Amino acid sequence: EPEVTQTPSHQVTQMGQEVILRCVPISNHLYFYWYRQILGQKVEFLVSFYNNEISEKSEIFDDQFSVERPDGSNFTLKIRSTKLEDSAMYFCASSQYRAGNYGYTFGSGTRLTVV
Amino acid sequence: DAKTTQPNSMESNEEEPVHLPCNHSTISGTDYIHWYRQLPSQGPEYVIHGLTSNVNNRMASLAIAEDRKSSTLILHRATLRDAAVYYCILRNGSEKLVFGKGMKLTVNP
């Protein structure tokens, strides 16, 4: 069964450093997403991406965050200057279509620890 | 986003059926009912979705009330691997999924 692949599985970074989280969505999917989950809390939407541009973003997704699809396969989330509160699991997801009649496929996540 | 209500937790026994309820009294006519689950230390996993009719797939069944104000996810034979947090989510044309706290299912051997 096709999978969404995320790397690395765990990243430790110092506060103020830039990090890039990588994702390879399912190949025929057109819609891409990032979510995050702080330990013990809900899964929160960050951003959706379609046709090489952001289509929706949450309040969490401020100027410190950016997304990119640098080639035909990768989808990245960059945090420019990490804060302690950015420590969380980050999940990438993809979907073939946007409509409510389709589900998402999520990756296994990257655990980001900011120290 | 339309809201759903689930119990905080449920317990079941291995190899027995388990019915996970969800209330969504403010559902609109275009909202699909989606179920996802999250196993420990994993990303959310799509389980099933439906609009009006009951749905079956290899993982589960979804029973939707006639007035669509509630639904029930049915796991026909629970296994230890089904222990997870289950999320009932309404989705229309909006791209994002809005996760609530979900319902923790414990499966006893």
Burial B45-63 (b: 16+ CB within 10 A, else e): bbbbbbeeeebeeeebbbb
What residues of A are in contact with residue B91 (Cβ under 8 Å)?
100
The one-digit pLDDT tens for each residue of chain A (115 residues) are: 889 999 999 999 999 999 999 999 999 999 999 999 999 999 999 999 999 999 999 999 999 999 999 887 899 999 999 999 999 999 999 998 877 778 899 999 999 999 9
Distance of residue B46 Cα from the nearest chain A Cα, in angstroms: 6
Amino acid at B90: L
Tens of pLDDT, residues B62-100: 999 999 999 999 999 999 999 999 999 998 777 789 999
Which of B92, B38, B89 has its CA nearest to residue A106? B38
pLDDT level of residue B26 (50, 70, 90 thresholds):
very high
What residues of B are in contact with residue A4 (Cβ under 8 Å)?
43
Which of A40, A39, A4 has its CA nearest to residue A23? A4
What residues of B are in contact with residue A101 (Cβ under 8 Å)?
32, 49, 51
Segment (H or E) for A32: strand A31-37
pLDDT at B108 (0 to 100): 96
Return the structure tokens found at B13.
């026994």
pLDDT at A72 (0 to 100): 79
Residues above pLDDT 70, as percent of chain B: 98
Higher-scoring residue by pLDDT: B3, B105: B105
Higher-scoring residue by pLDDT: B29, A67: A67
Distance of residue A51 Cα from the nearest chain B Cα, in angstroms: 14
Q: What is the 3-state secondary structure (H, E, C) of chain B?
A: CCCCECCCEEEEECCCCEEEEEECCCCCCCCEEEEEEECCCCCCEEEEEECCCCEECCCCEEEECCCCCEEEEEECCCCHHHCEEEEEEEECCCCCCCCCCCEEEEEEC
pLDDT at B1 (0 to 100): 56
pLDDT at A73 (0 to 100): 87
Q: What is the mean pLDDT of residues B11-27?
A: 96
Return the structure tokens found at A42.
């809900």
Determine phi and psi for A86, rounding to 5 degrees: -85, -5
Contact A93 B43 (CB under 8 A): yes
pLDDT at A101 (0 to 100): 79
Q: d(Cα A112, Cα A115) in Å, to the nearest integer?
A: 10
- Say if residue B60's pLDDT is above 90: yes
Distance of residue B91 Cα from the nearest chain A Cα, in angstroms: 5
